[in-house]
Amino acid sequence: RALEEIHARGLRFGDLHPSNIIVRPDGRIALVDFEYATALDDQDTPLAGAQGLQAPPGTPGAEADAYALWA
């Protein structure tokens, strides 16, 4: 749900990996460290991310975040 909210606001997280996902005291999931966040439609900024979690080059923003989530 947190990733869906970011995408609904027109952003790509850009560096999704386990240490950027936290569980809040109320049990909700939160994403932290937006250093590499960009606009979803930004095709000029290369994808960033932890080695092994990066989507293949040319993968659109939301799909790139989803790739990292399930890698």
- The stretches of 1-71 forming alpha helices (DSSP H) are 2-8, 61-70
Could you tell me which of 55, 56, 11, 59 has the C-alpha nearest to residue 36?
Answer: 11
> Of 15, 26, 33, 41, which is the active-site residue?
15
| 41 a catalytic residue | no
Token pair in block for residue 57:
């080059």
Give catalytic residues, as residue numbers: 15
